[in-house]
Every structure is written in structure tokens, then in C-alpha cells.
């Protein structure tokens, strides 16, 4: 049986006062005008995972305007072990809670025992030529589908780094500054090793499919964590070096008003493998195809490493693909044996899916099954 969402319920989420979908294991195609709520529905599914969803929005912005009810998203996931009910919703403090099978979950990451989620949105089309921060966030999302706690580690590191920056600016207690740097070093080493380990496995899997011409393959690497020394081999050694580095850089960082070195400065380097050229130099179509190929490969990796095939949320995915590449995409999605959610304004773009997808019309926050 394909793991799939059989029931989805939204309450006071974005432009949905309420919404309900009952689904089978086939793909789901959402079509309707721009602004009707297609992406909002994908975002609702994306918050059933660690992190802040496909828009990276703060949770208090998810609330439907004019509703007295707190926002909530609930889904029934069909698994080989039977159905699991997963829900998440707003807390008064702006955070969120998670419930699994009717009980409060021990952590946000507990949802990952039942589902993993990957997505592609039009905002990611300029990923390879855009700022390094976008590529780091993209990479960290990939890592989180393999290591659910990674998202929280990144968040904790950024919080500690902001504390360090404030202490430097205020010339705070050096002992407290040292304690923060030790905490940052532990978190930073974990982030870096999670990234390098995940990239290593992903690159090995991509190398096995270089002869597949449906979508170009990527050659991936991280820019050096340190420009002036060999990267330590163990986590403990890396923690020590990071703490020492930040201690030594205090004067420079105080003058700069920021932490100038660390895993938050690393970039994801992407090469078009078949052409041996930087991804950023490819055409818009090549970059889109390369990104799709990368997501498909990572979905296969998640399945191999975790036993759970991720749900794919593909927003406006077909709009800039020619008919042959659209057909190749749909064949590749079928091969993943997972449920994919695809959006578009024109139903014609999804004709090649034939009966392999459920067609849902979306208009002004209302859903209607088609056909």
C-alpha cells in the first residue's frame, strides 16, 4: 500500500474558514485561478512536519482573517501499520502544538514517524543564482527530512548566535560569552556534520543515475567551513575548533556587528553534472529541471534511509515544462510510489496523468472534486 493522506481537514487556515478532503492513494491535482488558495493548501500539509512550512512563515500569520477559531490542520495518514491521525494548530503564545492519535506529542519531530514532506515552489526557481542563505535553507530542509531534529538544531544555533552578537555589542561578561560560544560550537558542529553526511549519501545516489536523461543531475558540495585550516574529522574536535575560532574573532565580530565565521556562512555549491558547469549559469529551464531532479533524488534517498517515502508538494510545477518533460515528471512521480500534490491554473497541463490523479478545483478557499 502507498502511504497516503486519506483525510485532510483545515480550520481557520489562511483563506480557508474550513475545508475537508477525503482522498485515495493517487496523486492530487489542485487547479484554479491565482489567489484561490492552492498554495495555502500545500502550506497546510507542509506544516505537518518540523519547521515553519513551505513559506517559512511565523505561525501567527497562518490565522484566517476574521475567524475567532485558532488555525488547525489535521490529517489521517494511511500506513502499513494502519491509519494515524496527525494534527497541529495554534497556541496562544504564537507557537503550535502537535497531537498524534488523540494525544499530545512529545515533540514536533514526532510527526516525522508518520510522514516526511518535500516541496518545490516558484519562489525556489532562482535558488542556484540567488543568495547563499536561500540555498542553506533549502539544504537544511532536505537534511530535516532525513534527520527531523535538524530544524530545531538550526533554530537553536541561530538563537544562540543572536545572543552572542548582543553580548559583543554590549561588551557583556566574557564568561557568559564563552558559555554561549561553547553552546554554539556544539550546535554548529551538529549542523555541519548533518549537512555533510546527508550530502554524501545524496551525491552517492545521484551518481548511480547519471545515465537517466529525463532530468539533469547535480554535483553537490559545501564551501569550506574554514578557509585557513583542514576541517576536523570528529565532532568533538570540530566543537573545540569552532569555540576557539569564535573566541579569537571577538574583536572582529564586535566591529562587524555579526558573527563572521561558522556554519551559517557556508554555501551549497551546485554543478550541472552532465555539462560540468555551475548550475547558476544554466538557462531558466535547465535550472528548473536540475532542481526537480535534485528533489526526486532526495525523495528516493529518504525512502532508502528512513523507510518512509516523502509526500511531494509541487506548486505550479508544470507551467514551465514542455510536454515531454511533463510526461517524464509524471512517470518519475509514479516511480516514487508516494502521493504527490500538484497545483496549476490550467487542468490541461495535467492531462498526461490521466486517471492516476484526483482532480480538485479550488476557488476562493473552497474545494470541489472534479470528474
Query: What distance in Å separates the CA atoms of residue 150 and residue 362, rounded to the nearest whole number?
Result: 34
Confirm whether residue 37 is marked as ligand binding: yes
Confirm whether residue 92 is marked as ligand binding: no
Confirm whether residue 34 is marked as ligand binding: yes
Confirm whether residue 165 is marked as ligand binding: no
Binding site for ATP: which residues? 32-39
Binding site: which residues? 32-39
Amino acid at each position: 500500500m502507498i502511504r497516503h493522506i486519506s483525510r485532510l481537514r483545515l480550520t481557520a487556515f489562511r483563506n480557508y474558514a474550513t475545508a475537508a478532503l477525503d482522498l485515495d492513494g493517487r496523486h492530487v491535482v489542485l487547479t484554479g485561478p491565482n489567489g484561490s488558495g492552492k498554495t495555502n493548501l500545500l502550506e497546510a500539509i507542509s506544516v505537518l512536519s518540523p519547521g515553519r512550512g513551505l513559506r517559512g512563515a511565523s505561525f501567527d500569520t497562518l490565522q484566517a482573517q476574521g475567524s475567532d477559531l485558532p488555525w488547525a490542520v489535521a490529517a489521517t495518514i494511511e500506513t502499513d501499520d494502519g491509519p494515524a491521525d496527525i494534527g497541529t494548530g495554534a497556541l496562544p503564545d504564537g507557537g503550535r502544538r502537535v497531537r498524534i492519535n488523540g494525544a499530545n506529542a512529545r515533540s514536533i519531530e514526532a510527526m516525522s514517524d508518520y510522514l516526511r514532506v518535500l516541496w518545490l515552489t516558484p519562489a525556489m526557481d532562482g535558488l542556484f543564482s540567488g543568495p547563499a542563505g536561500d540555498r542553506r535553507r533549502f539544504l537544511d530542509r532536505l537534511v530535516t527530512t532525513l534527520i527531523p531534529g535538524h530544524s530545531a538544531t538550526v533554530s537553536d544555533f541561530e538563537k544562540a548566535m543572536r545572543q552572542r552578537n548582543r553580548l559583543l555589542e554590549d561588551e557583556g561578561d566574557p564568561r557568559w560569552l564563552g558559555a554561549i560560544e561553547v553552546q554554539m560550537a556544539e550546535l554548529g558542529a551538529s549542523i555541519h556534520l548533518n549537512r555533510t553526511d546527508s550530502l554524501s549519501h545524496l551525491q552517492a545516489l545521484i551518481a548511480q543515475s547519471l545515465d537517466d536523461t529525463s532530468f539533469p543531475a547535480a554535483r553537490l558540495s559545501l564551501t569550506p567551513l574554514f578557509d585557513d585550516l583542514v576541517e576536523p574529522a570528529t565532532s568533538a574536535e570540530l566543537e573545540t575548533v569552532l569555540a576557539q575560532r569564535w573566541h579569537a574573532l571577538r574583536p572582529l565580530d564586535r566591529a562587524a556587528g555579526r558573527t563572521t565565521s561558522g556554519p551559517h556562512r557556508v554555501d551549497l555549491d551546485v554543478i550541472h553534472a552532465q555539462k560540468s558547469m555551475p548550475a547558476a549559469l544554466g538557462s531558466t529551464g535547465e535550472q528548473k529541471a536540475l532542481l526537480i531532479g535534485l528533489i526526486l533524488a532526495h525523495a528516493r534517498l529518504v525512502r532508502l534511509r528512513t523507510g518512509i517515502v516523502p509526500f511531494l508538494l509541487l506548486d505550479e510545477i508544470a507551467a514551465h515544462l514542455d510536454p515531454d518533460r511533463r510526461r517524464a515528471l509524471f512517470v518519475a512521480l509514479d516511480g516514487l510510489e508516494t502521493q504527490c500534490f500538484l497545483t496549476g491554473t490550467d487542468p490541461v497541463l495535467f492531462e498526461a496523468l490521466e486517471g492516476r490523479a484526483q482532480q480538485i478545483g479550488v476557488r476562493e478557499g473552497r474545494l470541489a472534486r472534479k470528474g
